[in-house]
A and B are shown apart, each in its own frame.
Chain A
Amino acid sequence: MEPHPTAPPAAQNPTEDFLIHARGLVKRFGDFTAVDGIDVDVRRGEAFGFLGPNGAGKSSTMRMIGCVSPPTSGVLEILGLDPRRDGPRIRARLGVCPQLDNLDIELTARENLTTYARFFGIGRREARRRADELLEFVQLAERADSKVEPLSGGMKRRLTIARAMVNQPEVVLLDEPTTGLDPQARHLVWERLFRLKQQGVTLVLTTHYMDEAEQLCDRLVVMDGGRIVAEGSPRELIERYSTREVVELRFNADDQRAYAEKLDGIGERLEVLPDRVLLYVDDGDEATAEVHRRSLSPASVLARRSSLEDVFLHLTGRTLVD
């Protein structure tokens, strides 16, 4: 296993440079440790991602950052304030899109936004103006006056994101913003989140989708079992934990393992899966040529660039833990 990456150089005054600053952050539920001493720094204006398998502790971390769940121990500063003391003041400047939508399904789309805006002390008329603007932003203007209940999953998600924007937050926390959405809805959400980022809003998100992380995140951490196992930009992580390219070979055989020996020495690393063999190499074409030179004839060969998914599976394993 590779050594842990070193943290970015500490800034002079963390409260000024980092909107979110955590050291040795721990969350326990009874005996169970959900978050096991993590260090996180999020700078203003960046998009920061938490990746990790189910149960890694992403939502628990997000809820601590959202100041609805007090840390068990460790340092946590949000916007330079202490969540234990300044919860409401911090929450006034955050936008939260929780993992599961908690819209009021009996109200209309617009009422969901206006009533929520009122919780932030926003005046009625201003609340209505923002609601209409945000409904436009997430392309729900035509559904403004329809109840939430019959809206599709994608529409509800977009409405939840709009609700998170109603106080013009400095930081938006998005817990799996696009899980369960169809590709069109996902792309729309990505595009909107990208626009927010361009407006200078700091985004903190969790996701199971590597393409989402690659598209949106400037920097990310991979969590596993409550700990951070890797940190960096998507590019850095791929360089550090994977090779430039991956060759996927499928052999016409029940057991792919028989071929592992014959492929030995090609590339930096080799991984045998039930249905294929993966070669981690610098040059896919060169590796493919070498496979053929050894007179192996796989049924299919696919040479592709390494992705964040390779890094993720390498770091967190391929087997389900829960």
Chain B
Amino acid sequence: MTAMLSVLEFHLVNYRRTWRSSALTTLVMPLLVMLGFGVGVGAYVEGGVGGVPYLDWIVPGLIASTALQAAVGEATWPVFSYFEWLKVYFAQAAAPLRVADILGGHLAFMLFRIVLSAAVFLAVAAAFGTLHSWWAPLTLVVALLVGLAVAAPTVAYAASVSSDSYLIILMRFAVLPMSLFSGVFFPIGSLPELLRWVAYVFPLWHGVELSRDAILGTSPGLLGLVHVACLLAWCAAGCLLAHVRFRRRLVI
């Protein structure tokens, strides 16, 4: 455990040098989104969705989506670079760390970044008065789940590819469709059957639904358990796969 924490600490020291540049994005993105979607697009969506004003309806989805973006951002190029360009993982492997410490420490840092981004968004959303329930802070837990469910398999992928152009492919063919067809901007009921399966299978939609229930104060019922189970399954399978891929690369 302390070994893994020392790896987390390494990433935090690195973050201390770069947080200023990323902090702006973390703060400005939610503001832009609020103004663009809430005030701009929202004006065209009469009556909101199911009686909820459009801005209030999309905010929970955007928070889950922010977790996705942060997870993908931290799990692609940084991981690829630590194998291929900076070789940081190899330096760590020569220290008395296990593969699980190296991987776990980095994932822990990713979760920190993910929750931070989601928390900033949540705070901005609160300032705009779009939160309907005291359950709203629970979205941060959901963001953690979505974050790990996305980050872990992405890490496994980034540890496996031979060139960073494969990371761009991941962005185009996995992240973008997931962002569009996961009920963030409109209910998935309006999607054709096939695309609805994108929502069912990938992690984001489950997170969007849970966040929405938390922020609007509606009960997810038993379906909530299914969402959590799906997210946990992605987390578990992703971590396992990432561990296998890390071992492959680091123990040769």
Contacts and interface: CB of A to CB of B under 8 A. Distances in A.
A98 B94 contact: yes
B2 interface: yes
Interface string A84-117: 0001110110101010101111110001001110
Interface residues of A, number: 29
Interface in B83-100: 86-88, 90-98
Interface stretch (A6-14, A37-45, A64-72): A64-72
Interface string B85-128: 01110111111111000000000000000000000000000000
A254 to B, nearest CB: 48
Contacts, number: 71
Interface stretch (B6-14, B41-49, B160-168, B193-201): B6-14
A92 B97 CA distance: 9
Contact of B95 (A70, A100, A103, A116): A116
A115 B91 CA distance: 11
A120 interface: yes
B251 interface: yes
B90 A69 contact: no
A32 interface: no
A118 interface: yes
A119 B251 contact: no
The dominant DSSP class at the B interface is helix
B94 A103 contact: no
A106 B3 CA distance: 22
A119 B18 CA distance: 22
A69 B90 CA distance: 11
A102 B95 contact: no
A98 B90 contact: yes
A121 interface: yes
B94 A68 contact: yes
B252 A105 contact: no
Interface residues of B, number: 25
B94 A118 contact: no
A98 B3 CA distance: 22
Given A68-B93, A89-B96, A118 B6 contact: yes
Interface in B217-252: 250-252
Contacts of B9: 115, 118
Contacts of A106: 14, 17-18, 86
A30 B13 CA distance: 39
Contacts of A91: 94-96
Given A68-B93, A98-B94, A115-B13, A104 B6 contact: no
Given A88-B98, A118-B6, A121-B6, A103 B251 contact: no
Contact of B14 (A66, A70, A107): A107
Given A115-B9, A121-B6, A102 B251 contact: no
Contacts of A102: 86-88, 90-91
A177 to B, nearest CB: 15
A141 to B, nearest CB: 20
A9 B21 CA distance: 63
A104 B94 contact: no
Contacts of A96: 94
Nearest to A111: B13
Contact of B88 (A69, A98, A104): A104
Contacts of A114: 13
Interface in B1-50: 2-3, 6-7, 9-10, 13-14, 17-18
Contacts of B252: 29, 69
Interface of A: 29, 66, 68-70, 87-89, 91-92, 94, 96, 98, 100, 102-107, 111, 114-116, 118-121, 163
Interface of B: 2-3, 6-7, 9-10, 13-14, 17-18, 86-88, 90-98, 250-252
A-B pairs, 9 with minimum CB distance: A119-B95, A102-B87, A92-B96, A88-B96, A118-B6, A102-B91, A96-B94, A91-B96, A115-B10
21 contacts: A68-B93, A87-B98, A88-B96, A89-B96, A91-B94, A92-B96, A100-B87, A102-B87, A104-B14, A104-B91, A105-B86, A106-B14, A106-B86, A107-B14, A115-B6, A118-B10, A119-B3, A119-B97, A121-B6, A121-B96, A163-B91
